[in-house]
Each structure stands twice: as structure tokens, then as C-alpha cells.
Structure 1
Amino acid sequence: MSTDVVVALVSDTWTDAVRRGFYSTADQTLTTLLAEPAVGTVLVADHPRGVASQVRRRLAGDRPAPRRPGLRGVRPVTLRTPPPLDEAALRRRYAGYDRQTAAAARWHGLRRPALVTFNLWHAAHAAHGWAGTRVFYAQDDESAIPSHAPHRAQTLAAYRAIARSGMAVVAVSEVLLERIDPTGTGLVVPNGVDAALWSTPPPQRTPHGAPVALYAGTVDARLDLDAFRALAADGFAVRVAGPLVDADVRAALAAVPGVELLGPRPRAEVVRLAQTADVCVLAHHRTPLTEAMSPLKLYEYLASGTPVVATRLPGSAVAGDRVVWVEPGGDHVAGARAALALGRRAETDRLADVAALSWRARHRPLLELLGVGAGVAA
């Protein structure tokens, strides 16, 4: 007998997932569930948006998940999009979101579906009485995200409510799971890689001058700018691919000779950039946010076969000898030089790494928690 599943998104929509190529943790969870034969219908509940936002997005082509075999969508509505600061208003908002989601589940004929909610407020402030197995899937420590500072007290209260509720919690790192401290089932499911994408054979390497050091990810205040400056000063051609979300960090990097800002790139191009680099770089400050992260880019670097130099952080530990670790604020140049000496991973070993790091392999414990067997093959 199949299990139906409702997936509640954290702050975005099905259309957002399509536009970014199903890249994020929530996106790939949807992909796993939709590919699992033991899952019946997946209902995707978009983040609740205000009436004006709903109209603007619909005019721009935003739509809920399409109706097709095994997939349904719902777009809950609220008066305004930003979460209210008032605790009582926050509870009312997400109780209403839960009612709309439950009504959609009934309308589409889902039978006592499991619930996987990525939405902290939905997990903490709704009853979910219509659902079977209930899971809060934590992707980041939302109390440590700088832009969420106005909601920090509410976030910590939400963690306590989730812990008291006994609902299952899946977290991307042990640090994050410990911060939530659930009284029910707690699982660590690190982020993974898209196996089909990263199984692409590496292109033929051509001789080039300076060794290329690649950072592929969001450009924001997490980055250790001194590490990037030092790498460029040592003669590395530093390439930075990813959204430039922090203007100050962008300006600081743009001012460094030897650093090339590539901006956002299609996923297939990120694969090529990583595979053709000489070393991949993960240089972060140690903060409460980065301590709790499961850095997706680190796993993608490993999947590329290129050696890695990375800041040692609690949520970043991986087995093997393909990463040269540097303590926070340490010497990333020496680390990068040591990584260069490792050379590229043999292709058979690289493909084995891709399989082990794949989202399908990572999600096996989640599928077991939802009662849909031992999980799918990697």
C-alpha cells in the first residue's frame, strides 16, 4: 500500500523550485518522493503569500505544482506575505495555512498523508491533526540567519514548541539537531548531490597558466575574504560563481586583482567549472549559522573529483582524504597547495563518491521514517 505525502515549503513555491532546477534541499526532497514507487501522491503546499503577491506572481507565470499522476499542488493565501511579529498573529496565520493545506489534501483524495514541513512556523504553530507521520525538516538554524533577526525570539520559541510536540525532526547537521533538541525521533540527513548531474564525465583538461581556485556558492557575509585575497596574492586565479547577494562582499572581492566574479551560472556550467578547476575552495567564517550548516557546495566539490580546501566547521565533516582542512581564520593558501598535490580523483572512485553522496542515498532514512520501505537505490 502506498503512502501519500504533503510537503510544505519554507518560503517559496513550486515555480521557484522549477526555476532553480530543483537545487535546494526541499526541491530534492520533492524529487526523491516523486521518484519513490511506494509514495502515492505528493501534495506540494507553497509558502503562504498575500493576495497582492499572489496576483503579481500569477501574472509573472507562477503556478502551483501541476496536476499529474502522483503530484498535486496548493497555493494557500493570507492577507500579507511577511510573517507577523506578533505571536498570536503568527499562530493564526499558520493555523489558517494548515487548514487550507488539509482541505487540499482531502480534496485531492490523499489518505491520512504523512507531512514533511520545511516551514518552521507551520511545524510549531499548527495542529496537523489530519496528518499521519509528521516531520519538521530543518535546513538551517533560522535563529542564526542575520535577515531573520527580528524573529529570533519567536524562532527559539518555535524550536521549543517543536521539541515539546514530539514530532519527528530531520536536520541537515548534528549541531542543528542538538539545537532543536526534539523529544521525538531525530535524524541527521546531510545535504547531497544530484547524481545524474554530477555523473557527467569531466571534460578534457587543457594546459593553462595559474592554478584555478573555484568557489561556487552564494556570495555573502559568510565568506572569509582574507582567504580569497591570500589565494589571489599567491598566484591562484580565483573564480567565484554564484549569486552576489551581499553588495559589500561583492565590492570587496571585485577589488582584488586575480579574483573573477562570474555571478550565477546554470547548474551544468557549475559542474564544468568545478571539474576543470585545480582546487575547490570553501572558506567561511565560523558563526552560529555556519556551525549548523551542511554545506551543499562541499559535497558537490567532492562529486567533481577536484581536490578541496575547506574551513573546518562542525557540520562540514566528511570521511576520506580528499579535503584539506583549515581551521577558521587559518592558512588557506597552504591548504590549497596541499590540495593541489592530491590531484584529481580517479573516475571510478569519483563516480562511487557521487553515488554515496547522492540525494537518493541521503534520503533513505527519511523514506524509512515515512514508512515507505528501505529507500531507493542511489
Structure 2
Amino acid sequence: MTGRTGDTTAAVAPPGTPGTPPGGDRRDLVVLSLEPWDEVWRRNQHLVAGLLAADPGLRVLFVEPPVDHLHDLRRGASPTLGRRLRRLGPDDGAPAGRAWAYRPTKWLPRRLDPSGDGRRARTVARVARRLGMPDPVLWVNDPDGAAVLDTTGWRALYDVTDDWLHAVREPAELERTRAAEALLVERCAEVVVCSPALARAKGADRPVTLLTNAVDVDAYRTPLPRPADLPDGPYAVYVGTMHADRLDVEACLRVATHLRSTGSRLVLVGPALLDPLDLTRLDAAGALVLGPRPAALVPAYLQHAGVLLVPHVVDAFTDSLDPIKLYEYLAVGRPVVATPVAGFRDQPADRVTTASPQNLADAVVRVLAEGRPTGVGPAPADVPRWSDRVREMQAVLSRVRASRPAATPR
């Protein structure tokens, strides 16, 4: 069925099909994610995949952020449409028959289509009903998911991974985010935060649960061959989403220029969401932007690096983060050089070298010149594992299921 906005759904098998537990043993979860379910795994995928593996009665509808083709055009990317409801399976890291992903399309800016959020929220509710999920638990990671909570009244948790109130945005967008977050904090049975800074900010007026990020330690400590697309010789690598909210482009340019003068390279691995001009400048400075790589291959890029780099902007927004790369970098045990951002600045000097954005390049060159052998190095014993976080999230979800509905559905 296609609605006026182009949101689409595909026919799905009824709840009684193979792979679906009987209704009495079934636990349904709708996740409103800030990222799509793809090969670049983030917090949501690690947790949801772990929950599915641990609970054979769990079924999940994973709602990806809407495709915004006008925004794509503005940043020079090819426009794409939302994807029909699709089954997730073992190739996606999920058990067969118990997980689906859906991505709607945002056709117009909110100022031209103010009812778009509500319309997409009703579509999410319809998709859930078609999957036989009349009363799921709602897991909100994207603050825009407040519209789904307001529409459905489902029992809900708000998983806060970024303090968007400190992001650089237009005043109207910040005000909209502030209103959405106020609704979520008021009506959700549980609020989960990923960092101590978020615990202080969001826990001022209500209880919150601190559930930091983690890493699959075994995957990152299993030696892997050097990826063929890496440059010859030593390199420093940054693994993560390249976005102006986080990445200090000017610091990266200085690092790339300094490394090129020593015969080394800066390598950037991850989704490249920067302005095309910034990507051109990085290329001219000698940086190698590889783009996203499947999660299973990421440890190899870290294991063979001379330096693991964190060239993040230092501001209130990044101070709210709990970077997954902190745990990935620590698990690999390679030298780390970072700007003084949350998580990294608290590590002892034998684990992380911190430097200001202006002095970052000198620090990288200095550490790289030490010539430490590549490969898996010593890792601290206290690196948290995703399996620990899955157990903690199971407890949160149990409390949400036992709570009262958030509100009367609209």
C-alpha cells in the first residue's frame, strides 16, 4: 500500500507462520533508530541483535530514519527512496523470521509539510499491526519518534545517545527537538543514557539508567590480515561517521598534511557525511577517505594502524557522547591519539595521548615515529562487552513491559 507521502509497506506473513512463537510467548519491540540497519553496526544493532539471540520469544520491527531526498540533493548525494518492509535474517546478523526493518520517505521539509511526522507515525503503527504487533514496547532512539509515542500510547523507553539540544542547528529545529524530548522524558517509563554527561543532563528531573556502549572484545582481538585497500607504509586511522557535528575537519587537514610530509597517510573509514568541498580538501591534503566498511572488517583497519585517531570537535555536543570507538580502540590495544573529548580524556596516559586540535598533528607524528609493531596489542581488562549491555537492556525492557501504557492512543 502506498500513502500520500510515498511511505510503503509490503505484504508480510501472518503471526502464526513458522519462526513466530505463540502469542503467549511473544515479546514485541518497535525500535525507532537514528541509523539504518546496515553493515556499519552501531549501538542499536549490537543491542537488538544480542536481545534477539538471547530471547527466542522476541520479535523486532526496526524503523530506520526516513530517507530525505531533498537533503541528499542539497549535499550532493544521489536521491534515494524509502525501502519497503524487509525481513532481516542471518546475513543481517538477526535470526530468521523474527526481525524486520522499515524505512519511510520524507518527501518535503517540515515547514511545507507539518503533518508529515504524524503521518509517518501512523504508518509505523500500521506496519506493526500487520506484523501482529498490536501492543509492542516502543524503543525510541530518534527524538522524532515522539510522534509515534504520541500517536500510539505504547509503553516506551527513550534511549538517549546524543544531546541534540547542544548540536548546531537552526533555532526552529532546536525548539522542535526540545519539545519532542520533553514529551519523551515525561511519558516514557524508562530513560536510558549512554554517558555520565547525559545522565547528569537528563537525570536532573527524573531517574535515568546509565548504559554505556561496549565492544565485541573477541572480534577485535582476533588477528586479521591487512586490508588490501590500505596504502603502503604506516598510517593513522579514524574509524567512525564523518559528520561536521563530530569530526574536526581542520584538525584532520593538519594531520593529513603533516603525515604526508613524513611518508605516512591519514586514513578515514566510515560513512562520509561531510560537505563535498571538505572531502575535496581532505583528498588534496593527502587523506584517504575509504568510506564505510562492513563491521566484521573494521578490526583489521585498526590492528594494522600505527595510530588510532580521534580528531573530534571539542564542544558541549561531543561532551555528551560515549564513543563506541573508545572501546573498539582499547580492545585492539594500539596507540591512541585524541582530542580531549569525553571518554578519551579520562583514560590514563599509557592508553591515550590527548592533544588540542591545534597540536593533534604533532602528537600523531610523534607517536607514529615511535614505530611500535602493528597487530593486536595489550588491552585493559576492564573493557565492557556488548553481552553485558544486552543483559542490562533486558532488565530495562522487563520494567517497561510491566509499566502502564504511556497514554491513550490518538
| TM-score scaled by length of structure 1 | 0.74
For each residue in 1:122-162, what CA deviation from the matched residue of structure 2 results, as whole angstroms up to 9, or x when unmatched? 23662476644x21112323344557765221001112222
The counterpart of 1:365, out of the listed 369, 379, 392, is 392
Q: Does 1:248 align with 2:277?
A: yes
SS at match of 1:370: helix
Q: State the identity %.
A: 24
Q: Which amino acid aligns with 2:100?
A: G
What RMSD in Å do the two structures reach over aligned CA positions?
Answer: 4.1
Contact 1:163 1:181 in 2 (8 A): no
Distance 1:71 1:213, change over 3 A: same
Q: Does 1:298 align with 2:326?
A: yes
Q: Quick one: distance in 2 between partners of 1:303 and 1:90?
A: 43
1:1-378 to 2 correspondences below 5 Å: 4-10=27-33, 16-17=36-37, 20-21=38-39, 23-37=41-55, 40-47=57-64, 56-57=81-82, 62-66=84-88, 71-73=98-100, 75=102, 80-81=106-107, 84-85=110-111, 89=115, 92-93=118-119, 96-97=122-123, 99-100=125-126, 103-104=129-130, 107-108=132-133, 113-123=136-146, 126-127=149-150, 131-132=154-155, 134-146=156-168, 151-181=173-203, 183-195=205-217, 197-203=219-225, 211-221=234-244, 222-230=247-255, 232-233=257-258, 235=262, 236-246=264-274, 247-257=276-286, 259-316=287-344, 319-320=347-348, 321-334=350-363, 337-338=366-367, 343=372, 349-350=378-379, 352=381, 356-371=383-398
Q: Quick one: distance in 2 between partners of 1:174 and 1:186?
A: 11
Distance 1:141 1:230, change over 3 A: same
Q: Quick one: distance in 2 between partners of 1:148 and 1:137?
A: 24
Contact 1:169 1:185 in 2 (8 A): yes
For each residue in 1:257-307, what CA deviation from the matched residue of structure 2 results, as whole angstroms up to 9, or x when unmatched? 4x3333333434432221011111111121333222222233222222211
Contact 2:252 2:282 in 1 (8 A): no
Q: Quick one: distance in 2 between partners of 1:313 and 1:348?
A: 23
SS at match of 1:371: helix
Aligned residues: 351
Q: Quick one: distance in 2 between partners of 1:114 and 1:126?
A: 10
Contact 1:170 1:186 in 2 (8 A): yes
Contact 2:304 2:374 in 1 (8 A): no
Alignment match, 1:376: none
Q: Quick one: distance in 2 between partners of 1:49 and 1:209?
A: 39
Q: Which amino acid aligns with 1:366?
A: M
Q: Which amino acid aligns with 2:118?
A: R
Contact 1:285 1:329 in 2 (8 A): no
In the TM superposition, residue 204 of structure 1 has moved relative to its aligned partner by 8.4
SS at match of 2:51: helix
Q: Quick one: distance in 1 between partners of 2:127 and 2:207?
A: 24
Contact 2:330 2:380 in 1 (8 A): no
Q: Which amino acid aligns with 2:334?
A: T
Structure showing greater relative contact order (alpha-carbon pairs closer than 8 Å, 6 or more residues apart): 2
Q: Quick one: distance in 1 between partners of 2:154 and 2:321?
A: 29
Q: Which amino acid aligns with 2:58?
A: T
Q: Quick one: distance in 2 between partners of 1:216 and 1:76?
A: 25
Contact 1:162 1:182 in 2 (8 A): no
Q: Which amino acid aligns with 2:277?
A: D
Distance 1:35 1:179, change over 3 A: same
SS at match of 2:398: coil
Contact 1:312 1:326 in 2 (8 A): yes
Alignment match, 2:5: none
In the TM superposition, residue 212 of structure 1 has moved relative to its aligned partner by 2.0
In the TM superposition, residue 64 of structure 1 has moved relative to its aligned partner by 2.4
Q: Quick one: distance in 2 between partners of 1:76 and 1:282?
A: 31
SS at match of 1:250: helix
Compare 163-172 and 259-268 and name the one that shifted more.
Answer: 259-268
Contact 1:305 1:350 in 2 (8 A): yes
Structure (1 or 2) with the greater helix fraction: 1
Q: Quick one: distance in 1 between partners of 2:57 and 2:142?
A: 22
Q: Quick one: distance in 2 between partners of 1:297 and 1:48?
A: 22
Contact 2:122 2:151 in 1 (8 A): no
Contact 1:5 1:114 in 2 (8 A): yes
Structure 1 stretches of 5 or more lacking a match?
373-378
